[in-house]
Chain A
Amino acid sequence: MSLLEVANVDTAYGAVAVNRDVSLSVAEGEIATILGPNGAGKSTLMRAICGLLKPKRGRIMLDGHDVTGLPPDRLAKLGVVMVPEGRRIFADLTVRENLRLGAYSREDQGEVEADIGRMESYFSILADKRSAKGGELSGGQQQMLAIARGLMARPRLLLLDEPSLGLSPLMVREVQSVIIDVRKNFGAAVLLVEQNAGLALSVAARGYLMQSGKIVLASAIADLRDSTLMRELYLGGGKRPPIKSRDVETL
């Protein structure tokens, strides 16, 4: 049984439909990725999975239990935690306070300090800056803090929304190895949304390609990499669709 099962989900903001009939699954301890161009509806789907947005239709299952429509704080308790796009670090709280807050949903509050220690030894920058305000960190440091804060909940599924956004190439490499370690060292499955296809393809075992709100391709990562559709979208190798007059008008 999959850890996460998204079945026939539609989402919308008000009257504006975003996702249509999306189905995907993430297995226990697996890294999966959703790829696709800007505005394809990837982040909206992530918001639905973590409970920030109620799906219009369809079901979201965790361990076979229906969790559709549960609020984010309940899902965090069940082990689904999102590291949001743009990191959303609490700028006025210290690094340590940010980490401690990540553990809010846990029952075993006695072990939180020990876990902060684990995070500080894995992300050494967080130990150096433990008393600094979150807002004083650089973009890359904030991304590390955001991931560590998410891990503090001891999630079973970590949703990462555009973790490489706005980072230097060096930091992107670091994010890449952290994602692999999230699975290896911290035992969490990862669902990754990325603009940086190279990064996503290098860490994930399974991939979904999303276009105009729909999943257009779902496969093991090697097959996805070699697919024509993928080349068209990312690598510029395939045939480009001809420009229609309708597109010109909207410009």
Chain B
Amino acid sequence: MEIFLQQLVNSLSVASVIILIGIGITLIFGLTGIINFAHGEFLMIGGMTTWLVVSNGGGFIIGLVAAVLFVGLLGFVLERGLFRLTLDRPMNGFIISLGLIVVLQHFVIRFWNSYQKSIPEPLSGVWEIGGVQIIVMRAVVVLITAVVVAITFFGISRSRYGLALRASVADQETASLMGVPVRRYITGVFIYGSMLAGLGGALMIALFPITPFIGSTIVVRGFAVALIGGLGNVAGAVVAGLVLGLMDGLSAGYGLPEWTEAYSFALMILILLLRPNGLLGGTAGPRAV
């Protein structure tokens, strides 16, 4: 039982990073129809930003804030400079994102190198609660994610801007007739999704060493989460992230650890066969006009 609980807590921290990525992917797809495969690279850049700050003497908190801001700025620039031009044909945005993977990865490798990077654990220590050992840093990662998810969720379900966002996901044209500046929301969602990816990268490098190639593994997870939860559906992404994260952790602890990735894809295929719109229902992309 103790081992089970310990695996549970450990897998929650992995689930957190996947959820942060999944929210960005699902929001960007829901509003623009763009499948942004470079989103994993945004996370990698976030991790590398944190590493740069910390290895130059900055604290982890500064590194984390820098990662969030820098990747947010990157998202803004890429949306205004590239993705905006593809809004009429989201497939082109998808192709651009594939190119961006190569560009961003090699930018990092060119100026630093391809070896794995790590930072000293920002918070050391282990809590012991009833025989279950919880690594403090992992608990903090889960906590930060929970807060961010709660804020995101509250913002989308309660605020005026969240209402306009949900309406834009459902029907951009009618939302614009009601006065919603849809293009500005698209930029906003790109920035917000990128900031979450930057945060994910900072939290990830606090847990494990990362290489410039981490993006592709993570983005595939993020997509699985977005698809399982229902594209465009933030609550769905959170639920699916938890399910996948837990499955990862538990399969690593009990089943065959080398099959960890396969389990999540088997689950994704199964769920999509049974519920093609995802667990909580999603969108097929913005309404074609």
Tell me which residues across on chain B come within 8 A of A104, comparing CB atoms.
Answer: 160, 164, 178-180
- Can you name the residue of chain B whose Cβ is closest to the Cβ of A104? B179
B174 part of interface (Cβ distance < 8 Å): yes
A52 part of interface (Cβ distance < 8 Å): yes
- Can you name the residue of chain B whose Cβ is closest to the Cβ of A98? B167
A77 part of interface (Cβ distance < 8 Å): yes
B175 part of interface (Cβ distance < 8 Å): yes
A118 part of interface (Cβ distance < 8 Å): no
Tell me which residues across on chain B come within 8 A of A101, comparing CB atoms.
Answer: 163-164, 167, 175, 178, 180
Is the CB–CB distance between A153 and B179 below 8 Å? yes
Within B175-197, which residues are at the interface with A (CB < 8 Å)? Answer: 175-182
Is the CB–CB distance between B160 and A72 below 8 Å? no
Tell me which residues across on chain B come within 8 A of A84, comparing CB atoms.
Answer: 173-174, 177
B66 part of interface (Cβ distance < 8 Å): no
A134 to B170, CA, bound (A): 12
Is the CB–CB distance between B167 and A90 below 8 Å? yes
Within A173-200, which residues are at the interface with B (CB < 8 Å)? Answer: none
Is the CB–CB distance between B177 and A71 below 8 Å? no
Tell me which residues across on chain A come within 8 A of B179, comparing CB atoms.
Answer: 72-73, 76-77, 81, 104-106, 153
| Highest count of chain A CB atoms <10 Å: which of B167, B171, B174 | B174
Is the CB–CB distance between B180 and A93 below 8 Å? no
Q: Chain B's nearest CB lies how many Å from the CB of A121?
A: 22
- Can you name the residue of chain B whose Cβ is closest to the Cβ of A71? B176
A4 part of interface (Cβ distance < 8 Å): no
Within B119-172, which residues are at the interface with A (CB < 8 Å)? Answer: 160, 163-164, 166-167, 170-171
Q: Chain B's nearest CB lies how many Å from the CB of A61?
A: 20
A235 part of interface (Cβ distance < 8 Å): no
Is the CB–CB distance between B175 and A93 below 8 Å? no
Q: Chain A's nearest CB lies how many Å from the CB of B217?
A: 33
Size range of the chain A interface in the assembly = 20 to 34
A106 to B177, CA, bound (A): 13
| Highest count of chain A CB atoms <10 Å: which of B173, B174, B177 | B177
A88 part of interface (Cβ distance < 8 Å): yes
Q: Chain A's nearest CB lies how many Å from the CB of B155?
A: 15
The answer to whether residues A52 and B160 also contact, given A73-B182, A104-B179 and a CB cut-off of 8 A, is no
Within A125-148, which residues are at the interface with B (CB < 8 Å)? Answer: none
Tell me which residues across on chain B come within 8 A of A52, comparing CB atoms.
Answer: 173, 176-177
A75 to B177, CA, bound (A): 8
Is the CB–CB distance between A88 and B174 below 8 Å? yes
| Highest count of chain B CB atoms <10 Å: which of A72, A91, A97 | A72
Tell me which residues across on chain A come within 8 A of B164, comparing CB atoms.
Answer: 101, 104
- Can you name the residue of chain B whose Cβ is closest to the Cβ of A81? B177
Q: Chain B's nearest CB lies how many Å from the CB of A143?
A: 14
Tell me which residues across on chain A come within 8 A of B175, comparing CB atoms.
Answer: 101
Tell me which residues across on chain A come within 8 A of B177, comparing CB atoms.
Answer: 50, 52, 72, 76, 81-82, 84
A21 part of interface (Cβ distance < 8 Å): no
A207 to B178, CA, bound (A): 26
Q: Chain A's nearest CB lies how many Å from the CB of B13?
A: 33
A92 part of interface (Cβ distance < 8 Å): yes
Tell me which residues across on chain B come within 8 A of A225, comparing CB atoms.
Answer: none
Q: Chain A's nearest CB lies how many Å from the CB of B9?
A: 35
Tell me which residues across on chain B come within 8 A of A50, comparing CB atoms.
Answer: 177
Is the CB–CB distance between A88 and B171 below 8 Å? yes
Tell me which residues across on chain A come within 8 A of B180, comparing CB atoms.
Answer: 73, 101, 104
A206 part of interface (Cβ distance < 8 Å): no
Within B4-58, which residues are at the interface with A (CB < 8 Å)? Answer: none
Tell me which residues across on chain A come within 8 A of B181, comparing CB atoms.
Answer: 71, 73
8 A-B pairs closest in CB distance = A105-B179, A76-B179, A88-B174, A72-B176, A104-B179, A73-B181, A73-B179, A72-B177
List 15 contacting pairs A-B, 8 Å CB cutoff, sorted by A: A50-B177, A71-B176, A72-B177, A76-B176, A76-B179, A84-B173, A90-B170, A91-B170, A92-B166, A93-B163, A93-B166, A100-B160, A101-B167, A104-B178, A153-B178
